[in-house]
Structures are given as structure tokens and as C-alpha cells.
Amino acid sequence: MKQKTVAPSIGILLSLSILHGLNDALQSAVSASYPLLKDDLMLSFSQIGLITLTYQISASVFQPVIGFFYDRHPYVWSLPVGTCFTLVGFISLAFATTLVWTMCSVFMVGIGSSTLHPEASRLTSIASGGKRGFAQSLFQVGGNLGGAIGPLLVAFIAAPYGRQYLSLFPILSIIAIIVAIPVCRWYKNRLQLFKQENTTMKVRTESPLPMKTVVISITILLCLIFSKYVYLSSLSSYYTFYLIEKFGVDIQDSQIYLFIFLGATAIGTLAGGPIGDIVGRKYVIWTSILGVAPFTLLMPHVNLFWTVVLSFFIVLILSSAFPAILLYAQELLPYKLGLVSGLFFGFAFGIAGIASAILGIKADIYGIESVYNICAYMPLLGIITWFLPNLKKK
């Protein structure tokens, strides 16, 4: 029987984008608070990397598990429940006095993120009405904007007055719970509709390629995620330290520069999905990863002005990759949306955490500048995009 074509649920898509933004504002505020934690608790770069690793493990390992579970057992109120973990974790982080306490706090924040990403991404696909590139980009751009706001909140609230003011940030979690309520009601109605039509959330759709090719393609996509997020972890975790150490900027100014480069992600992300709908995901992936290599290779050798400019264009181009990669993977396995979303979000977070820990050790031994000299070569791995099959609509 032919499936009905429906228009995108714009209100739901906007709500999911806002939820993503509120969540990622708090997530980015965690990394933006590292200089405060380092000073208050007298931490080394290695310990900062360990904190990041703890957070990324909780925000990554559980994502494919949660996505797979909710593919099989949909739960209407999963988004507010996950947000409650973020709320409690952030309050705890504001008053943590030891390394272990801090690690436990960021672990709880990570659980909230681990719940939101696969669930909200799957609901975005359901609400897309078939316009999945547009829907996924809208969802992602909310997260990007939220990620850019987080450092500003730290710069103007916590940095001038003390780390305890991080306890004000969970107000965003309360707002997120309020925004999630109509989404949960809509989701409940959709579940009832599926039951009435004698269908399930995992409508079985044939993969467009043989399973062997699917496995190889997924492996290539994960390698591309690896190259992207190793480089991005050097920016998200150590960019402020790099500016402070190399150019002598203060903490507040470094957070403003961090906002500038994170703000570029909104433009690239918003463009990546729709462009992929038109020209094919493969070409967006190819351009967005391999295309930044000249900029990353140049950045360690320029002054403050050009560092900010180059980092802006690096993130602008790189940010278009993830929506294209995720949608490409979902098109390979169209009946496992939650699992695929959790796998790719989780792998991205996990790679970022492991890379952050290793780069922290490297920074302690050889200096923060060495981190960028090494990571500059990671985008060259984008050459393997050549081996991906073209999934552009026939």
C-alpha cells in the first residue's frame, strides 16, 4: 500500500530545533567552563582531558543503545526525562570541589545529551514530511546556535562573578522541559495513528544497496566522522587555551572569540542538508571535510586576526558535513533511524572525548600549539569519500 505524503510539521521541527539548541547551549557551556575549573581546582591539561573523556563517554556510548531501545519501545516522555539529567548535573557542576565530583557532574550532563540526540533526531525524521535534508539541517542549526551561545553565557555570567553562577544555567533545562511538552503530545498522537494504521515506528524499508556495500559505506562514514571530530575536539576543548597562551588574550575575550567561530556552524549546518538534497550527500561530505585542509594547515602559522578568520571558515565548511553524513547513513539503513542517529551522534561524541584526552596529554608535554600542528592534517582523510557510492535520487 502506498504511504501518504504529508507536509513537514514546521511547529514540531522548530520545537525540536529549540530543544537541540537549549541542550547544546548547556553542553558547550561545560567545555567553556574549563578555564574556570582549571583555576578553581588547579587542574592540569591531562585532567581537563579526563573530564572531557568522562562526559563524552556518557554522551556517546549510551546513544546507540538508547536509540535502538526506543526504536523497539517508543516512550513519549523520553525528552523531558533526559533533560532532567542535564539539569541536575549542571547544578552539581557549579559547586563541585574535587575532580571526581566534577567528573560525576559532567557524566550526568552527558546522559541528558545521550537521550536527546537520537530521540530528537528520529522525531525530526518523522516530522519532516519527506523533506529530510531541510528538517535535519533545521534540527542541527538549533544545536549549533545553542552551542555558540553557551560560551557567551560563561563569559558574561560565570567568568566575571564566579563558577557558582553556573547554577543559573539549568533555567535553560526548565525551558526545554516546557518546550518538550507539546512535542511529547504530538508524538503520542503519532504513535496512536501508527497503531490505528497497523504499522510500527520501524517501518521496514529496503536498503538501496547490498548489505556488504552498506557495511563498507558505514565504515567509511565513521572514518570521516573520526577525522572531523578529532579536529573539532581540538577547537572545542582547547581553542580558548590556545588563544590565551599564544596571543595573550584574557578569559572573557577568548570566550567571545569562541562564540564567533561557533556561530559559523549555524550557516554551514543550515546549508548542508538542503544542498545534499539537490546535489547528493556524497559531494557535500567531500567538500566539507577535504575542503578545509588548506585552512587547517595554515592556521597554526598566522596571527590572532587570521586565526579567528580561518577558524571561522574551517567551522563554516566542516559544519555542513554532519547533516549530510547522518542522512546518508539513514538512507543506507532507513528502518533503523534511532539506532543510526545514536550510533553517529554517539561515535562523534566518543571520538571527541578520546581525542580531547589524548590532546590534553600532548598539550601538557609539548605545549598547546603542538595540538594544532598535528590536528591540521586530519581533514586530509576526507579523500576516502571517493569510495562512497552515490545515493543521489534517480
Pair 140, 341: CB distance under 8 Å: no
Pair 345, 63: CB distance under 8 Å: yes
**Residue 159 pLDDT:** 79
List of the chain residues with pLDDT < 70: 1-8, 196-208, 236, 261-263, 272-273, 276-277, 349-350, 352-353, 391-394
**Residue 5 pLDDT:** 44
Structural domains present in the chain: 10-387 (1.20.1250.20)
Pair 381, 226: CB distance under 8 Å: yes
**How many residues does this entry show for the chain?**
394
Whole-number Å distance between alpha carbons of 222 and 231: 14
The DSSP result for 43-67, as a single string, is --HHHHHHHHHHHHHHTTTHHHHHH
Sign of CA dihedral 24, 173, 136, 10: negative
Phi, psi of 73 (to 5 degrees): -130, 80
Pair 267, 316: CB distance under 8 Å: yes
Whole-number Å distance between alpha carbons of 66 and 221: 21
Dump pLDDT digits (tens) for 153-209: 888 888 788 888 888 888 999 999 999 999 999 988 887 887 766 544 444 555 667
**Residue 352 pLDDT:** 67
The DSSP result for 105-134, as a single string, is HHHHHHHHHHHHHHHHHHHHHHHTTT-HHH
What's the predicted TM-score (pTM) here? 0.69
**Residue 201 pLDDT:** 45
Dump pLDDT digits (tens) for 67-96: 778 777 888 898 999 999 999 998 999 898
**Residue 189 pLDDT:** 87
